[in-house]
Structure 1
Amino acid sequence: MKSHSSALLAEVRSFRQNHPDVRYVDLIALDIPGHFYGKRYPVEMLEKVAAGSPLKLPQNAVLLGVQGGLFKIGDYCFNDGDPDANRRLVPSTLKPVSWESQPLGQMLITSDGTEAPIEFEPREVLAKVLERLHHKGIHPVVAFELEFYLFDKKLADGLPQFARDPLSDDADDQPNLHIERLSRFSEVLDDMAQTAKDQGIDITVITAELGPGQFEINFGHLDDGLRAADWAALFSRSTRGVALKHGYRASFMAKPYLQYPGSGMHVHVSLYDGAGNNLLAAHQQQPLRHAVAGCLELLPHCMPIFSPNHNAFRRLGGTVNAATRASWGFEDRDACVRIPDSDPRNLRIEHRLASADANPYLVLAAILAGLEHGLETQREPFAPLNEDRNSGADFPLEMLEAVRAMRHQPVLRDKLGAEFVDVYCENKRQDHLAFQQEIHAREYRWFL
């Protein structure tokens, strides 16, 4: 513990030496809906925390709804006195923030690894899954891919407008995959990539996607699942900030346009033993089939995680590469679980169902729980889409049905934690009901 504090203290002191103009550091963590919460600390106070002083924030900050409100969930929020809970600094995440008008730093904090972790904190949920897998000799290697849209900075009557092509000043309203779009938006995209690298994130491929103003960023593969999810969370924050600096809005909203493709979070996962052998490739890839079967069995019960809001369900079906049933296939982008072509060393699954605005810690935890379940039960999956285009299993397509399917699923309650499942499901149910508490203009058109 002492050496851990020494390393953190050295990190903070090095940061202060390299960035003497930074007076404040944002200490941030991801809540259940996938938003950052935290506190802005004077950098000299951060040194004290790194040296071992307590770092406490309200436990219930994790439970905030999409709009920041608190819901009554069991005894939390209104019957527990709103207690503080310990957090700790996440090493190697103290970085400068370049998109603000004033010099600033940021650093991740978490309750995992403290004496009393918050059972429903997303990072803690993933940490417990990874720890269990490591005890079994299973070591995941993970890479995220995130799609997002660029919009004009100004909204029109609350609605997004197409991003303006910086060369022609015309709206970028033509959906395509043309490489020229990367050149036309190179200034903001290059800044996003460089800013991410400054945060310690390994950015690899940048793609102009099918939607107007839509792009995809790929991250490098990591043998640290927590850090991989950290990268996805931090990239979302920095990308929104950089876009505003350049006169755009960046959004990871799942389905901003009904007529154009939605934005997804694709997660590549391979599993290795302690000697570095790919577990999925053993015995003529039989473990791969078992892992896929487990993933697909739990998928219909994980929909509140993969589609965490009303809008995210709009993304499913009706457009290219968006599944409407739990399915799998080799080199098939219509499948929820795709098996990319690769050599045995790099054999992996690509989970394609989650929306880009899903919580990356929870998405990865749910995927790993499914893979683990499959390896344990050793069942065969149903036919891949390559053999039967109608193959697959139904999953819920609206939130309340999805919550019912998740709440009492025994495998999920065991692998993700019963307390987390109860809290998460109630948070999503309450958020959905709160969303319905507004009468939209269409209702007046239809029923007045």
Structure 2
Amino acid sequence: MKSHATTLLAEVRTFRQNYPDVRYVDLIALDIPGHFYGKRYPIEMLEKVAAGSPLKLPQNAVLLGVQGGLFKIGDYCFNDGDPDANRRLVPGTLKPVSWESQPLGQMLITSDGTEAPIEFEPREVLAKVLERLQHKGIHPVVAFELEFYLFDKKLDNGLPQFARDPLSDDADDQPNLHIERLSRFSEVLDDMAQTAKDQGIDITVITAEIGPGQFEINFGHLDDGMRAADWAALFCRSTRGVALKHGYRASFMAKPYLQFPGSGMHVHVSLYDGAGNNLLAAHQQQPLRHAVAGCLELLPHCMPIFSPNHNAFRRLGGTVNAATRASWGFEDRDACVRIPESDPRNLRIEHRLASADANPYLVLAAILVGLEHGLEARREPIAPLNEDRSSGSDFPLEMLDAVRAMQHHAVLRDKLGAEFVDVYCENKRQDHLAFQQEINAREYRWFL
């Protein structure tokens, strides 16, 4: 049986044989706000790392704010000496980057699985949740769906412009679900899909969404929750790169237009036991009801994860299918937790509340914790929207309220980790306060 290092070394050497022009590889990981950070390594040095040489990056890189700055969070960043922390290469993720002007590779790195994993690293948070579920005999199957907008590459005084229809050169400024939009933008969409497949991502359905220049791409179902989150993270990176290559900007911003629908991250999750039986479908679907109740109970306390920035809160209660209360329903897209019609084998929940720019590792971790809590507490959920259109419970609609609701919640501190919850909440609080420290034109217009 090959050792871990031997397997990694074989992966790097095979990559070098297949892509002899690649001289550098970006080693990347997702920080708390959902941005990639990392280092660009010469391919020769990558081979040494694969063979066992240490790979270290600053621990506090995970704590970067939305704009890349460091916040004082406890003793981190300014009172800890900014120490390095070990990272490891994630096997199977070394892939070519086709959207750059020069040949390049990329590979995921992480602290999970090292001797001293970073407790607040998003991938480590999810790894702990998945490991705990596995010990309980619970095996999630996961699929992400991501919505995004295409804009013109050039901004207009800092504001986005509608994508130009490549056939007419007119602005694609009409909200619609027309299949013809997929044809008109087929060149860039096909490149996005193929590039994602080159990254090992299973792209399935592509949809023209309601907003002008808005699309949705679905991924295949995976019995590896970590890999499913990897796919979502990598897809965002490659899609933005491909869009720029074609003269567009691709954005997963939650609410780029007030008058048009926002962009969401929908997550399908089913749970199986070791024998492959769907746990949610047992006993006349009673576990499904318990799982839904757990999700709805924790949802108000997970809002900083599902809506990670000021703009994401604008999406809630918007024009289409974005709730302002924690709710559930069968085949109901107005619900936060939707139960798609399916046979017992494929019975699942679809969690629809998170914004497209949320951190996929943390979103999935929060959803799984809600399901886990529900199965343990065995409570009945509130009435589904199918029975009562007014059913639902309130959740925070402003970041500072959301942070307060999250930070001291006992279940989240236990199941996501108290250190992570404290660090994450302070990161969101500081980001929100930093966002307020700019006077925009509207403020002068109103109060000057």
Task: Name the stretch that deviates more: 145-154 or 315-324.
Answer: 315-324
Q: Does 1:103 align with 2:119?
A: no
Where 2:3 maps in the other structure, the secondary structure is helix
Q: Does 1:234 align with 2:234?
A: yes
Unaligned 5+ residue runs, structure 1?
none
Q: Give deviations 1:30-53, integer Å, cap 9, x for gaps.
A: 000000000000000000000000
CA distance in 1, matches of 2:334, 2:198: 35
Q: Give deviations 1:60-100, integer Å, cap 9, x for gaps.
A: 00000000000000000000000000000000000000000
CA distance in 1, matches of 2:74, 2:44: 39
CA distance in 2, matches of 1:155, 1:374: 46
TM-score w.r.t. length of structure 1: 1.00
Q: Is the 8 A contact 2:262 2:318 kept in 1?
A: no
Q: Does 1:340 align with 2:350?
A: no
Runs of 4+ with >6 A deviation: none
CA distance in 2, matches of 1:104, 1:228: 24
Where 1:150 maps in the other structure, the secondary structure is strand
Where 1:334 maps in the other structure, the secondary structure is coil
Where 1:2 maps in the other structure, the secondary structure is coil
Q: Give deviations 1:183-213, integer Å, cap 9, x for gaps.
A: 0000000000000000000000000000000
Q: Give deviations 1:13-32, integer Å, cap 9, x for gaps.
A: 00000000000000000000
Q: Give deviations 1:251-287, integer Å, cap 9, x for gaps.
A: 0000000000000000000000000000000000000
CA distance in 1, matches of 2:246, 2:113: 38
CA distance in 1, matches of 2:2, 2:44: 20
Alignment root-mean-square deviation, CA: 0.7
CA distance in 2, matches of 1:225, 1:141: 7
Q: Give deviations 1:286-332, integer Å, cap 9, x for gaps.
A: 00000000000000000000000000000000311000000000000
CA distance in 2, matches of 1:396, 1:11: 46
CA distance in 1, matches of 2:229, 2:121: 14
Q: Is the 8 A contact 2:305 2:358 kept in 1?
A: yes
Q: Is the 8 A contact 2:255 2:263 kept in 1?
A: yes
CA distance in 1, matches of 2:24, 2:442: 46
Where 2:381 maps in the other structure, the secondary structure is coil
Q: Is the 8 A contact 2:58 2:85 kept in 1?
A: yes
Displacement after TM superposition at 1:177 (Å): 0.4
Displacement after TM superposition at 1:447 (Å): 1.2
Say how many residue pairs are matched: 448
CA distance in 2, matches of 1:262, 1:203: 22
Displacement after TM superposition at 1:2 (Å): 6.9
CA distance in 2, matches of 1:231, 1:70: 27
Displacement after TM superposition at 1:354 (Å): 0.1
Where 1:141 maps in the other structure, the secondary structure is strand
Look up the match of 1:22. 22
Displacement after TM superposition at 1:432 (Å): 0.2
Q: Give deviations 1:324-377, integer Å, cap 9, x for gaps.
A: 000000000000000000000000000000000000000000000000000000
Look up the match of 1:328. 328
Look up the match of 1:384. 384
Evaluate the alpha carbon distance shift between residue 408 and residue 335 of structure 1 in structure 2; reply closer, same or farther with a 3 A threshold: same
Q: Is the 8 A contact 2:59 2:85 kept in 1?
A: yes
CA distance in 1, matches of 2:65, 2:194: 32
